[in-house]
Amino acid sequence: MKRALLALVLVTSACSSAIPGTAVPVPGAGNLALVDASGTGAALDAVKTAAETVFSYDSANPAAFDQAVAANVTGAAKDQLTALFDQIRKSPQPVRLVTRVREAAAVEFTGDRIRELAVLRQDSGAAQGLATVAVTATRQGGRWRLTDLAMDPAQPAPAAQPDDGSPGGVRDSALAGARAVAGALFTTDSGDPEGSYARAEAVLADPLLSDYRSRKATYVEAIRKVGTKVALGPNPMAGVLAIAGERAVVLFFTTLQVTDTTGKVTTRPFTAELDVVREGASWKATGVRPVVSP
């Protein structure tokens, strides 16, 4: 059985199929995410409303779901939602799912198109769960409509702007720094616990650095005992939630590749918020908060 990709599937079924997205960066289009703060915010708000509507479902009123999809979804996203909700709609048990966007970060914004990384929180009344999804939407006739969806996404980042002090350059520098931080923090090898610790220590700044050093023996022993190698999956996604000067909060997602002592590889989706600060030419983490269900 495949791991369920959304809380709504976890609630109603033990089986699920992955719904891959098709979104790719727009060649030659300038990325205005956070550079155009008001435009980015308005697009995020509109997509939030649309996503909360189409990822919610009440079996007592299936027509409302169809109407929501017709009004808010177009293109590949229609087929993706149809496949995702197929099990839900066939459930013999009553289903009432309420979805809220817990947080979202714009990965790419070009004025009439946005690609974002979002964390969805779903509640069936009996269970709750989180899922991370990449959502692409376009503005058509003044209305934002979802055009592509990818659960547990792995998509390429937009072309980075030069780190020249411009808003876009600082944003992309912070994102590159956050990816480097994640690679050092979340990549471990039980065969080299001291090296794993050292790589993590090198990308930390206070207050996290002092805490990490004070617990070095505990961390090293934990890495040694777990008996696995952990690596980031391909194309980890990241978007800036907030940025002020040389500090940023980044939403980060990857599917961790975990290899056990027999060589068996399993995957585990992982989402976290990273607080990063620029120190000289590098960005370092001052805080790490895994995004987990309450």
Q: What is the mean pLDDT of residues 26-42?
A: 85
pLDDT range class, residue 14, cuts 50, 70, 90: very low
Domains 7-151 and 167-290 alike in fold: yes
pLDDT range class, residue 28, cuts 50, 70, 90: very low
Q: Which CATH superfamily is domain 7-151 in?
A: VirB8 protein (3.10.450.230)
Q: Is the pLDDT of residue 15 over 60?
A: no
pLDDT tens by residue, 279-289 = 999 999 999 99
What predicted TM-score, i.e. pTM, was given to this entire model?
A: 0.91
pLDDT tens by residue, 117-150 = 999 999 988 889 999 999 999 999 889 999 999 9
Say what the pLDDT of residue 160 is. Answer: 95
Average pLDDT, the chain: 91
Q: Is the pLDDT of residue 29 over 90?
A: no
What is the separation, in whole angstroms, between the first and last Cα of the chain? 25
pLDDT tens by residue, 251-263 = 999 999 999 999 9
Task: Decide: helix, strand or coil at residue 146.
Answer: strand
Q: Is the pLDDT of residue 6 over 80?
A: no
Tell me the residue length of the chain: 294
pLDDT range class, residue 52, cuts 50, 70, 90: very high
Q: Is the pLDDT of residue 242 over 70?
A: yes
pLDDT range class, residue 4, cuts 50, 70, 90: very low
pLDDT tens by residue, 163-178 = 999 999 999 999 999 9
Buried b (16+ CB within 10 A) or exposed e, 66-104: eebbeebbbebbbebbeebbebbeeeeeebebbbebbbb
Half-sphere CA count of 29, side-chain side, radius 13 A = 17
What are the start-end ranges of the H helices in the chain? 7-12, 37-54, 62-72, 76-90, 167-185, 193-201, 208-214, 216-226
Say what the pLDDT of residue 5 is. Answer: 29
pLDDT range class, residue 190, cuts 50, 70, 90: very high
Domain ranges of the chain: 7-151, 167-290
Q: What is the mean pLDDT of residues 206-230?
A: 97
Say what the pLDDT of residue 125 is. Answer: 87
Say what the pLDDT of residue 2 is. Answer: 26
Percent of the chain with pLDDT over 90: 82
Q: What is the mean pLDDT of residues 233-253?
A: 97
Backbone angles phi, psi at 80, to 5 degrees: -65, -45
Say what the pLDDT of residue 8 is. Answer: 43
Say what the pLDDT of residue 157 is. Answer: 95
3.40.718.10, 3.10.450.50, 3.40.50.720, 3.40.50.410: which CATH number matches 167-290? 3.10.450.50
pLDDT tens by residue, 63-108 = 999 999 999 999 999 999 989 999 888 888 899 999 999 999 999 9
d(CA 158, CA 172): 9
Percent of the chain with pLDDT over 70: 90
